[in-house]
Amino acid sequence: MNRIFPYPDREHSRVLLEEDAVYFKIPENDRDMVFDLAWNAGVDAARELIAQKEGKLDFFRILEEYGLKLKTEDIDNVAGNIRFYSEIFPRAKEVKLYLKSVKLWAKQTGVGMRDGQQLILAHEFFHYLEHAKLGFTSKKYQVYMLKIGKFELGKTGIPSLSEIGANAFAIECLPYLDLEINREPEEDETEYLEEKKEEIDFKRHELWKGAEP
Ligand SMILES: [Zn+2]
């Protein structure tokens, strides 16, 4: 497995849930279960795809096979203090990569541009699967919309669950991706990679929420 890991892992994905605007509406006893529900949705979908593809994943190809068009825009897509790397438009079957944003991230995390795109496309592909066959992870657990006195009104999903599922999906796919960072390092690289890892661990939390613009 790779040593460089520029991606929100399980622990950091948990923060996404904790920072979700509706987190406080999830009963405390349900919180672990809700997180696992989303995480496992990603893991299960990845395992199915890995089996289907016999352990070799190239998301540039997979997108093509599923009839998804890859579009790129050479911009750094920043809105407020969030940097967007990519977006998926499942109905239009389109994935858009914001190249300048991806480049900044790739540079910051020490992965190559192609590796960066693969990792991001893996994440986005999960969102496509949610749309096309799995159902939206964000709707797998619902909370009330409004509380008036002791009455709870309406039901709404939890947006961060989809992101958690997509992260789990991408991470589960990671060892099977055709990536430069998956190669075994030369012996004399070990120290360099260790240093790099600390730098990355420190920064990766910022990833999907966007690093400071
Ligand atoms: Zn996402």
State the pLDDT at residue 3.
31
Q: 207 alpha carbon to ligand 1 midpoint, in Å?
A: 11
State the pLDDT at residue 91.
92
- The CA distance from 67 to 114, in Å, is 20
Q: 146 alpha carbon to ligand 1 midpoint, in Å?
A: 26
Q: 144 alpha carbon to ligand 1 midpoint, in Å?
A: 23
State the pLDDT at residue 66.
96
* For ion ligand 1, residues whose CB falls within 5 Å: 163, 166
pLDDT tens for each residue of the chain, 213 residues long: 233 445 688 988 999 999 999 999 999 999 999 999 999 999 999 999 999 999 999 999 999 999 999 999 999 998 887 788 999 999 999 999 999 998 888 888 778 888 889 989 999 999 999 999 999 999 999 999 988 888 888 999 999 999 999 999 999 998 898 777 666 555 555 665 566 555 555 444 444 444 343
Task: Give CA angle at 171 (86, 98), nearest 5°.
Answer: 10
Q: 86 alpha carbon to ligand 1 midpoint, in Å?
A: 8
Q: 190 alpha carbon to ligand 1 midpoint, in Å?
A: 32
- Structural domain includes residue 197: yes
Residue 188: give the domain boundaries.
10-204
Query: What is the pTM assigned to this prediction?
Result: 0.81
Structurally, the chain folds into a number of domains equal to 1
Q: 123 alpha carbon to ligand 1 midpoint, in Å?
A: 6
Give CA 56 to chain center in angstroms: 19
Q: 156 alpha carbon to ligand 1 midpoint, in Å?
A: 18
Q: 186 alpha carbon to ligand 1 midpoint, in Å?
A: 34
Strand, coil or helix: 143: strand
Q: 126 alpha carbon to ligand 1 midpoint, in Å?
A: 8
State the pLDDT at residue 93.
96
User: If you ran DSSP here, which 8-state letter would residue 139 be given?
Assistant: G
Q: 150 alpha carbon to ligand 1 midpoint, in Å?
A: 34
Give CA 39 to chain center in angstroms: 11
- Structural domain includes residue 15: yes
CB count within 10 Å of CB 79 equals 9
- The CA distance from 139 to 193, in Å, is 39
State the pLDDT at residue 141.
95
- Structural domain includes residue 3: no
Give CA 155 to chain center in angstroms: 25
Which is nearest to 70 in space by CA: 140, 128, 139, 129?
128
Strand, coil or helix: 141: coil
- Structural domain includes residue 21: yes
Return the residue matching tokens 């960066």. Answer: 116
- Structural domain includes residue 211: no
> Does residue 76 contact residue 98 with C-beta atoms inside 8 Å?
yes
Q: 53 alpha carbon to ligand 1 midpoint, in Å?
A: 23
- Structural domain includes residue 80: yes
- Structural domain includes residue 138: yes
DSSP string for 81-123: TEEE-EEEETTTTEEEEEHHHHHHHHHHHT--HHHHHHHHHHH
